[in-house]
């Protein structure tokens, strides 16, 4: 293995020790799956190798996690395939409609699910397409084909998981720890600049960029849950920590110049702590001490109060990350994420339309490659639905498919007739597999590499006895291209609206802000904040760092939630029958009643502030005056008429 690794690294191109090791593991797993397929006399032994080539990933955690969810999705898809076969075995049109509805549901679910739960939905969708194509032609053999398909998938998953476990290292825990230290240190530096009253021009601690980098760590959690039992057990606590850091970064705060001398020592201490984090638990304790010292100031201004809350959030975030240090787990706050249901519906309808169009082509032409059309359509719809530009994704998929067709023809008719035995077959296949596997390591060519591997392996596949029929290969290749054309047609007929995701995010931010003003006293405000933060970061990622007005309304809405939390703390100990409590209740009802009109709500907050001043509750009056200022600021931000 070491000698082969050195030989691969010596090849020209973007070969590194990590890339070479990944390619060698993938080749070993695909060869093992193919050998097992032949040993068990599967009807389609190459399907097991195809499963491996669809699952390959450089990280062990991604392989294991992806494999488990693929098996889960396969079992679900096979169960649905048996149900559809029992209901519509003799009714082709209803059969196609059932396949289309199921594929559409799975593609829609894939759009809104996160991490490897989406993998299960994807596989459950296209497994039905792969298993039921032949069942429509020969219903009496449907059970055998479904069982064979399930066996091939399980063999592929087990082969890849075994090779990855034996010959790769668990690296996600170290990578995650490094990433958490990085974002923790950068957040400390950002907060230090706020305490010093500065606006840093350093790109690394720009709030928008830092917020996006914090979101990227969540993807590592998805990979790590398949590799590390520790990450899997602590994932809720770690996600809560990321939400706390987002709260610090996204809460813009302007420090009062008159209090800068009092805050400067804390800023200096934060900067020193950022330069060398001694450990998450120790760092959290030191930040908590800073927060306590700041809270002891009797003349606390509004900006100091907000900085104090940011220190509390930062301490909670660091303490959440300390769970990786085997420290006692802290109770995890609830978190939530934005889900684009409109996009899910559109993707589901695209998959249904593509399936119905495929069925129409098959029915009207009586083409014997109908099963191939369905088998190609399922994976293609699921892969392209995740692309931001489906037409561009299909173009890359088409290009990779063409390469796969040419490679399959060369391998099947120029090499395979001259060899015999599994060893020589594997050597010949490895020469072609290596090209596609290496392409998946390069982001620009990853989609082409996947298409190449799928097309090549499917077209070159053979059973125990090889058959060399060029017209059959050409017929299958034409079916591949026709399926891609049908998929492109479906995505063109139901195109994604320009700026649709942007509009949905802004509308969701505004609607949830209205819900906050109406029902804030009954909501889990921390969970609400986490969802708004997720939307705001997604909005910044879409519009870019140069758009200063990108998330103005979202940022103000987060400040509103903080102010409401502060008001709840101030008023929860009031006597219910006191005049101050009744004044607060009346004010909250008025603000809630005019939640859809921020300017009127601001006027009601000012009215409540004046009433509380007359009653002598000057502290509460100041809080409602601050709330009025935030509501007025929100009324002048990205109100819905600007993005309708």
Q: Mean pLDDT across the stretch 458-470?
A: 76
Whether the per-residue pLDDT at 99 is higher than 70: the answer is: yes
Per-residue confidence (pLDDT) for residue 31, from 0 to 100: 93
Which position has the higher pLDDT, 159 or 114?
Answer: 159
Tens digits of per-residue pLDDT, 5-28?
A: 454 444 445 667 678 888 888 999
Q: Mean pLDDT across the stretch 84-93?
A: 82
Per-residue confidence (pLDDT) for residue 535, from 0 to 100: 84
Return d(Cα 306, Cα 256) in angstroms, integer. 11
Q: What is the band of 468 on the pLDDT scale with cuts at 50, 70, 90? A: confident
CA torsion sign for 548, 554, 560, 565 is negative
Per-residue confidence (pLDDT) for residue 330, from 0 to 100: 67
Tens digits of per-residue pLDDT, 200-229?
A: 677 888 888 888 889 888 888 887 777 777
Return d(Cα 16, Cα 108) in angstroms, integer. 38
Per-residue confidence (pLDDT) for residue 344, from 0 to 100: 85
Residues, the chain, total?
Answer: 644
Whether the per-residue pLDDT at 78 is higher than 50: the answer is: yes
Whether the per-residue pLDDT at 3 is higher than 60: the answer is: no
Q: What is the band of 496 on the pLDDT scale with cuts at 50, 70, 90? A: low
Q: Mean pLDDT across the stretch 406-413?
A: 91
Return d(Cα 125, Cα 511) in angstroms, integer. 33
pTM: 0.80
Whether the per-residue pLDDT at 377 is higher than 80: the answer is: yes
- Contact predicate 514/558, CB 8 Å: no
- Listed in sequence order, the residues at least 6 apart from 231 whose beta carbon sits closer than 8 Å to its beta carbon are 172, 173, 176, 221, 224, 225, 238, 324
Cα→Cα distances 642→31, 121, 510, 550, 629, Å: 57, 36, 11, 12, 21
Q: Mean pLDDT across the stretch 74-87?
A: 87
- Listed in sequence order, the residues at least 6 apart from 579 whose beta carbon sits closer than 8 Å to its beta carbon are 615
Tens digits of per-residue pLDDT, 306-333?
A: 788 888 889 999 998 988 876 666 677 7
Tens digits of per-residue pLDDT, 553-564?
A: 777 888 888 888
Per-residue confidence (pLDDT) for residue 422, from 0 to 100: 87
Q: What is the band of 546 on the pLDDT scale with cuts at 50, 70, 90? A: very low
Tokens of 532: 């708004």
- Contact predicate 438/9, CB 8 Å: no
User: Judging by beta carbons within 10 Å of its beta carbon (0-12, 13-18, 19+), is residue 275 exposed, middle or buried?
Assistant: exposed
Per-residue confidence (pLDDT) for residue 15, from 0 to 100: 65
Which position has the higher pLDDT, 495 or 559?
Answer: 559
Tokens of 552: 């103005």
- Contact predicate 65/223, CB 8 Å: yes
Per-residue confidence (pLDDT) for residue 633, from 0 to 100: 84
Q: Mean pLDDT across the stretch 225-249?
A: 85
Per-residue confidence (pLDDT) for residue 9, from 0 to 100: 46
Element spanning 291, H or E: helix 280-295
Q: What is the band of 388 on the pLDDT scale with cuts at 50, 70, 90? A: low
Whether the per-residue pLDDT at 521 is higher than 70: the answer is: yes
Q: Mean pLDDT across the stretch 112-138?
A: 80
Tens digits of per-residue pLDDT, 258-278?
A: 455 667 788 888 888 888 878
- Contact predicate 130/24, CB 8 Å: no
* Average pLDDT along the chain: 81
What is the percentage of the chain residues whose pLDDT exceeds 90?
A: 9
């Amino acid at each position: 293995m070491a000698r082969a690794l050195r030989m691969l690294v010596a090849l020209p191109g973007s070969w590194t020790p990590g890339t070479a090791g990944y390619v060698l593991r993938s080749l070993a797993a695909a060869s093992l799956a193919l050998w097992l397929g032949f040993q068990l006399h599967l009807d389609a032994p190459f399907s097991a190798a195809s499963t491996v080539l669809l699952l390959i990933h450089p990280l062990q955690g991604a392989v294991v996690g992806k494999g488990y969810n693929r098996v889960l999705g396969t079992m679900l898809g096979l169960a649905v395939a048996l149900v559809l076969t029992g209901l519509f075995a003799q009714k082709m049109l209803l059969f196609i409609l059932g396949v289309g509805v199921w594929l559409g549901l799975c593609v829609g679910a894939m759009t809104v699910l996160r991490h490897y739960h989406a993998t299960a939905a994807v596989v459950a969708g296209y497994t039905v397409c792969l298993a039921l194509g032949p069942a429509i032609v020969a219903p009496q053999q449907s059970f055998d084909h479904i069982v064979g398909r399930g066996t091939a998938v399980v063999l592929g998953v087990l082969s890849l998981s075994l090779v990855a476990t034996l010959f790769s290292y668990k690296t996600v825990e170290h990578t995650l720890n490094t990433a958490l230290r990085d974002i923790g240190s950068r957040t400390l530096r950002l907060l230090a600049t706020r305490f010093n009253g500065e606006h840093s021009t350093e790109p690394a601690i720009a709030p928008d960029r830092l917020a996006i980098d914090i979101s990227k760590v969540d993807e590592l959690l998805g990979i790590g849950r398949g590799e590390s039992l520790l990450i899997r057990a602590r994932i809720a606590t770690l996600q809560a920590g990321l939400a706390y850091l987002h709260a610090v970064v996204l809460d813009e705060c302007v420090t009062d110049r008159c209090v800068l001398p009092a805050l400067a020592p804390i800023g200096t201490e934060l900067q020193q702590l950022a330069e060398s984090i001694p450990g998450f638990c120790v760092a959290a304790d030191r930040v908590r001490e800073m927060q306590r010292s700041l809270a002891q100031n009797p003349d606390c201004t509004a900006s100091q109060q907000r900085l104090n809350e940011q220190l509390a959030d930062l301490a909670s975030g660091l303490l959440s990350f300390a769970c990786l240090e085997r420290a006692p787990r802290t109770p995890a706050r609830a978190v939530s994420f934005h889900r684009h249901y409109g996009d899910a519906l559109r993707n589901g309808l695209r998959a249904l339309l593509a399936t119905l169009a495929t069925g129409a082509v098959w029915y009207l032409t009586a083409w014997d490659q109908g099963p191939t059309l369905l088998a190609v359509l399922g994976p293609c719809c699921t892969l392209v639905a995740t692309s931001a530009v489906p037409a561009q994704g299909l173009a890359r998929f088409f290009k990779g498919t063409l390469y796969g067709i040419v490679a399959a023809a060369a391998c099947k008719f120029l090499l395979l007739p001259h060899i015999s035995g599994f060893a020589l077959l594997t050597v010949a296949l490895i020469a072609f597999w290596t090209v596609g596997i290496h392409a998946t390591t390069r982001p620009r060519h990853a989609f082409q590499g996947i298409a190449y591997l799928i097309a090549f392996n499917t077209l070159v596949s053979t059973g125990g006895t090889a058959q060399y029929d060029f017209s059959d290969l050409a017929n299958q290749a034409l079916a591949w291209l026709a399926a891609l054309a049908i998929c492109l047609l479906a995505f063109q007929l139901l195109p994604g609206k320009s700026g649709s995701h942007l509009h949905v995010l802004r509308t969701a931010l505004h609607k949830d802000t209205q819900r906050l003003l109406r029902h804030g006293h009954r909501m889990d405000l921390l969970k609400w904040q986490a969802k708004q933060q997720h939307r705001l970061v997604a909005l910044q990622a879409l519009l870019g760092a140069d758009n200063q007005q990108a998330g103005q309304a979202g940022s103000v809405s987060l400040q509103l939630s903080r102010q409401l939390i502060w008001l709840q703390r101030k008023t929860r100990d009031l006597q219910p029958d006191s005049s101050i409590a009744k004044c607060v209740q009346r004010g909250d009802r008025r603000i809630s009643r005019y939640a859809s009109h921020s300017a009127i709500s601001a006027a009601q907050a000012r009215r409540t502030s004046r009433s509380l001043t007359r009653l002598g509750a000057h502290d509460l009056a100041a809080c409602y005056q601050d709330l009025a200022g935030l509501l007025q600021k929100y009324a002048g931000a990205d109100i819905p008429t600007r993005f309708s």
